[in-house]
Amino acid sequence: LKPKWFAPHVAYTIAKFGMSMCVLGMAEEFCGQGIAVNALWPRTPIATAALQVIEGTSTAGARVPEIVADAAHAVLVRDARGFSGNFLIDEDVLRDAGCADFDRYAVEPGQPLLPDLPRSARRSTGPLPARICMLGSSHSSCRSCRAGT
């Protein structure tokens, strides 16, 4: 962990990390009951009232909330017993489900999309893997690491 990546948005990072721990813990806790727990995050800012309170932020490079709703639907219709404990990005979920037209989700089609706010602090802007283990694959605490994925 490098502190420079946390400095500009420590509260947001703490919230995301907390959500990640909840996903991992609850996915393992409820797996025997057929209940899936996954996290779904946007690739870009989403044009909501929350974005409007951030001074100097434009929605021109954002997407509409429907992209997250459509991605959530794609996740919710999957088999809960075989798809749990994942950290997902809305665009990746929809692309995997066959969506190829993302212009319909743009607030202003043709405008360059902005990265989601905390992603702008990452060195890589490439796609995130569909499954990320916070602990690494050298332990046996989560099902994905026990399975070698």
User: What's the token pair of residue 17?
Assistant: 């990390």
Q: Which sequence positions are flagged as catalytic?
A: 12
Extract the tokens encoding 52. Answer: 């409007």
Neighbours of 146 (CB within 10 A): 11
Measure the CA–CA gap between 75 and 94, rounded to whole angstroms. 9
CA dihedral 121, 126, 129, 134 (to 10 degrees): -20
Nearest to 87 by CA among 139, 22, 148, 141: 22
Reading the block at residue 57, the tokens are 């932020």
Q: Which of 39, 21, 138 is nearest to 88 (CA)?
A: 39
Helix (H, G, I), strand (E, B) or coil at 39: strand
